[in-house]
């Protein structure tokens, strides 16, 4: 599995990362999925304190303990579960981040986190305080680097201006090309990497295609538009390849993207995604055709 540098850090992450949110809570099944990812050469594992009330971190940490020094372990912070677990509230305060990291470290069974990410963010947040927390954790050796998980251009711009983050995680796919317009140029200019999630657009860009389509469509696409666009993409670009290959390779065609995060609820999905990530890169004319056929929407609601 090929690796790419994460921003200006000394972390080199595999082009495919495992999003651990969907591995479940059965220890044996979760370990099988993670072991399969390791067998496929994946070194980048993404979790969050929010997932399964922290159980996800515990399972991921236990599975990766034998190879801890060989993997890149990323987790997230900022969402505080209510005591009755009925939901969570947003808390990007310095005090919360510096306290919560200790619990993540304990659950993960490690004394450092490779990439600590703010799990969201709004323009009203106390950003200077949040950044100060990350910088102090870095200086204290609890984390190696930090980034944010956000799709909001106004938030991303402020963190680019004020922080030393190395990455931004955001949704990106053939059917959600919004980052190309605003985020990618800015982040590329500042040598900040993108880690993408949702590359298969909720399964629409898999070989099951329209089986996954809802009556409401997807983002700016109506169901009728999806029924027109998806078969054309399959016919003109896939050409004997799986749709998953095309979807992942489209993300990887952008040099700002360091890694594509895909989830998996079973080992077979890991193997399939790994094969897709290792497949032939898209040709320039294929990328051009995809862009002509799809929408280059921009972020309207969070400017």
3-state secondary structure the chain: CCEEECCCCCCEEECEEEEHHHCCCCHHHHHHHHHHHHHCCCCEEECCCCHHHHHHHHHHHHHHHHHHHHCEEEEEECEEECCCCCCEEECCCHHHHHHHHHHHHHHHCCCCEEEEEECCCCCCCCHHHHHHHHHHHHHCCCEEEEEEECCCHHHHHHHHHHCCCCEEEEECECCECHHHHCHHHHHHHCCCEEEEECCCCCCCCCCCHHHHCCCCCECCECHHHHHHHHHHHHHHHHCCCCHHHHHHHHHHCCCCEEEEEEECCCHHHHHHHHHHHCCCCCCHHHHHHHHHHCCCCCCCCCC
Catalytic residue check, 112: no
Set 51, 116, 142, 172: catalytic member: 51
Positions marked active-site:
51
């Amino acid at each position: 599995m090929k690796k790419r540098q994460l921003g200006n850090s000394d972390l080199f992450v595999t082009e495919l990362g495992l999003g651990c949110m969907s591995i479940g809570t059965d220890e044996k099944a979760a370990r099988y999925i993670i072991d399969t990812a390791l067998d496929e050469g994946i070194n980048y594992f993404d979790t969050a304190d929010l997932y399964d009330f922290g159980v996800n971190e515990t399972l991921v940490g236990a599975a990766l303990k034998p190879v801890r020094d060989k993997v890149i372990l990323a987790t997230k912070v900022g969402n505080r579960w209510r005591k009755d677990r009925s939901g969570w509230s947003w808390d990007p305060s310095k005090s919360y981040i510096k306290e919560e990291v200790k619990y993540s470290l304990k659950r993960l069974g490690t004394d450092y986190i490779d990439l600590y990410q703010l799990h969201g963010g709004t323009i009203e947040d106390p950003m200077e305080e949040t950044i100060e927390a990350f910088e102090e954790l870095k200086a204290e050796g609890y984390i190696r680097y930090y980034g944010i998980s956000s799709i909001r251009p106004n938030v991303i711009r402020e963190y680019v201006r004020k922080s030393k983050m190395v990455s931004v995680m955001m949704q990106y796919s053939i059917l959600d090309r919004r980052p190309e317009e605003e985020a990618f140029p800015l982040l590329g200019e500042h040598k900040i990497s993108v880690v993408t999630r949702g590359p298969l657009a909720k399964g629409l860009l898999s070989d099951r295609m329209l089986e996954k389509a809802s009556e409401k469509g997807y983002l700016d696409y109506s169901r009728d538009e999806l029924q027109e666009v998806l078969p054309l993409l399959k016919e003109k670009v896939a050409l004997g390849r799986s749709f998953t290959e095309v979807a992942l390779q489209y993300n990887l065609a952008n040099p700002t993207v360091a890694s594509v995060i895909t989830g998996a609820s079973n080992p077979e999905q890991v193997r399939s995604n790994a094969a897709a990530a290792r497949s032939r890169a898209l040709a320039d004319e294929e990328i051009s055709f995809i862009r002509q056929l799809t929408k280059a929407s921009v972020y309207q609601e969070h400017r």
